[in-house]
Amino acid sequence: MQFIETRGNDGVKPSSVPFSEAILSPSASFGGLYVPENLPSLDKDFLEGHLESHYKALALDFLQEFGIDIETEVLEEALKRYDTFDEPSNPVPLTQIEKDCFVSELYHGPTRAFKDMALQPFGYILSKLAQKRGEKYLIMAATSGDTGPATLETFKNQEGVKVACLYPDGGTSDVQRLQMVTEDAPNLKVIGVKGNFDDTQNTLKDLLASEDFKAELKERGIKLSAANSVNFGRIIFQIIYHIHSYLELIRKDVVKMGEKIYLVVPSGNFGNALGAYYAKKAGLPIEKILISSNINNILTDWINDGVYDLTNRELIQTESPAMDILKSSNIERVMFDKFGAARTKELMEALAAENKFTLTSTELSSLREDFDASFSDDMECEAVVGMYAKKGYVMDPHTATCMRAYETLREKKLPTVVYSTAEWTKFSPAVSKALGHEVEGDIEALKWVSEHANVSVPAMINELFEKPVIHNLVVEKEAIKGEMLNFL
Ligand SMILES: *Cc1c(COP(=O)(O)O)cnc(C)c1O
């Protein structure tokens, strides 16, 4: 299976590359992204063949059907990373919260957010590729709070890969920040940036595109890669858990093979939702993918009105910071799939030049065949968190945005899977507030919520507050390049 480019080919880069190339060097012609030329089929036979499968077996088979150029032994080792999750026999448990509503908990990995689902195996594969080629790679991640910890965790002490993580100072929770700044390994660097997530992501994009930074790296014999969801190496693992959700509903006798379900995906960079889109396209019986956002609801406008407009928007900090994103990278892959490379290039160039693009009504209808969208503000999310906590289920604010989509967007009464993308422990002050007790700081909040809602705090969260801080650098955007060169 080869990978092609969302904005067409520039005649300099190869017009298609194998998986290994697409993940080692994820930037395609004209600033586009790599996408698979086609998808394996998730037909009835495939699904029936995996009714008894362990998550790892399902994943291995799916990856092999994809025909990626990674050896089986490497894939098997990579998937063993799921053995470190809370329940190795089922790393992604599904919990019923309403008669027809099930929460797929994607956060049972080492950093307590869904980023581990993809980054854990991806990190292993990328390091192995680097080692085998005798090459050195630099991964730079811009994080709104969850990618950073998960990227550091997967690459720490891995040969052949150095990681630098940029996070918006003040734009993450205490736990998220501590997960980064206490991470101690010689191949890791963590830098706080004065600005919001979009500033941080833009700084990274500029740096990655800059010729003189590339020249500096070349001199040091270091190649650049990326671990955010522009890298298809993450997306591929984010298709698998959607298949798993469906199989779980069959196993629980909620649906019969072939019956359709809704998925609700709390979205920012649209990687999770893109995985769902590919699963649907490959044949998984999904009625629609419902996208939920916080008040930074640019995806709601894109899906409901076909307008992607940054001109009148400022990023607003919310209680669901991992979704405080205005430039959502992976919508590009959906648009390529639906409208082709020429049109995608045109739309993305309009966005770059005018900060805005508008879909035609035909394009919008096509988008709405697969997606619908809504958003919730912080107050609404707090109400949702409080209501479910009373019923005995504690969810985080990102997950809480999903409940409005569940309640208002479903045209049919079909069983629904809501994705829980973080454990409440990563956002405990917001959860505590939602339960009626405002506190300063995560330590107090963790304690209070755990006592009052009768939920436990995992050891890896409690231990963070005792660990020494290794990285205490917070700088202006302009200083990033210098800091990076020091590190290298
Ligand atoms: C990253 C993240 C999201 C957004 O996921 P995308 O794939 O970027 O849309 C939502 N919730 C949490 C907790 C996250 O960490």
Cα separation values, 113 from 85, 320, 422, 425, Å: 11, 12, 4, 10
Choose which residue among 272, 318, 329, 399 to substitute to test ligand 1 binding: the one with the highest number of ligand atoms within 8 A of its C-beta: 272
**Smallest Cα–Cα separation from 217: which of 278, 274, 117, 135?**
135
Q: Domain 79-113+233-458 carries which CATH code?
A: 3.40.50.1100
**Smallest Cα–Cα separation from 162: which of 85, 120, 221?**
221
Q: How far apart are CA 302 and CA 363, in angstroms?
A: 11
The reported pLDDT for the residue numbered 141 is 87
400 C-beta closer than 6 A to ligand 1: no
Compute the Cα dihedral for 198, 320, 296, 227 and give only its sign: positive
The reported pLDDT for the residue numbered 143 is 87
Give residue 278's identity as a one-letter amino acid code: Y
Q: How far apart are CA 129 and CA 410, in angstroms?
A: 43
Q: How far apart are CA 372 and CA 397, in angstroms?
A: 20
Is the Cβ–Cβ distance between 181 and 187 less than 8 Å? no
183 C-beta closer than 6 A to ligand 1: no
Atom number in ligand 1 closest to CA 275: 7
Q: How far apart are CA 137 and CA 407, in angstroms?
A: 45
The reported pLDDT for the residue numbered 92 is 98
The structure tokens listed for 399 are 């997950």
Unique residue bearing structure tokens 């008894």: 52
Burial 144-161 (b: 16+ CB within 10 A, else e): bbbbbbbbbbbbbebebb
Is the Cβ–Cβ distance between 382 and 430 less than 8 Å? yes
Q: What kind and span of H or E run contains 98?
A: strand 94-98
Q: How far apart are CA 61 and CA 41, in angstroms?
A: 12
DSSP bridge partners of 34: 5
Is the Cβ–Cβ distance between 193 and 145 less than 8 Å? no
With H, G, I as helix, E, B as strand and everything else as coil, classify residue 372. Answer: strand
Is the Cβ–Cβ distance between 190 and 149 less than 8 Å? no
**Smallest Cα–Cα separation from 313: which of 303, 302, 304, 322?**
302
| Mean pLDDT, 10 residues at a time, the chain of 488 residues | 97 97 94 97 97 97 97 98 96 98 98 97 97 95 88 96 93 90 96 88 84 92 89 97 98 98 97 98 98 98 98 92 92 98 98 98 98 98 98 98 98 98 96 95 96 96 96 92 91
- Parallel, antiparallel, or unpaired for β 161-168 and 356-358? unpaired
146 C-beta closer than 6 A to ligand 1: yes
275 C-beta closer than 6 A to ligand 1: no
Q: What radius of gyration, in Å, describes the C-alpha atoms of the chain?
A: 21
Distance 72 CA to ligand 1 centre (A): 29
141 C-beta closer than 6 A to ligand 1: no
Q: How far apart are CA 147 and CA 294, in angstroms?
A: 18
Phi and psi torsions of 159, nearest 5°: -70, 145
Distance 486 CA to ligand 1 centre (A): 31
With H, G, I as helix, E, B as strand and everything else as coil, classify residue 39. Answer: coil
DSSP bridge partners of 162: 138
The reported pLDDT for the residue numbered 55 is 98
Is the Cβ–Cβ distance between 78 and 118 less than 8 Å? no
Instruction: Provide the residue count of the chain.
Output: 488
**Smallest Cα–Cα separation from 91: which of 232, 248, 228?**
248
The reported pLDDT for the residue numbered 200 is 87
Longest CA–CA span in the chain (Å) reads 61
- Parallel, antiparallel, or unpaired for β 222-225 and 34-36? unpaired
The reported pLDDT for the residue numbered 456 is 96
Phi and psi torsions of 296, nearest 5°: -80, 70
373 C-beta closer than 6 A to ligand 1: no
The reported pLDDT for the residue numbered 172 is 85
Q: How far apart are CA 460 and CA 126, in angstroms?
A: 25
150 C-beta closer than 6 A to ligand 1: no
Atom number in ligand 1 closest to CA 399: 11
pTM: 0.96
Unique residue bearing structure tokens 């506190």: 439
The reported pLDDT for the residue numbered 419 is 98
> With 0-12 CB in 10 A as exposed, 13-18 as middle and 19+ as buried, what is 353?
exposed
Q: How far apart are CA 62 and CA 478, in angstroms?
A: 43
The structure tokens listed for 354 are 């005018």
Domain coordinates in residue numbering, the chain: 79-113+233-458
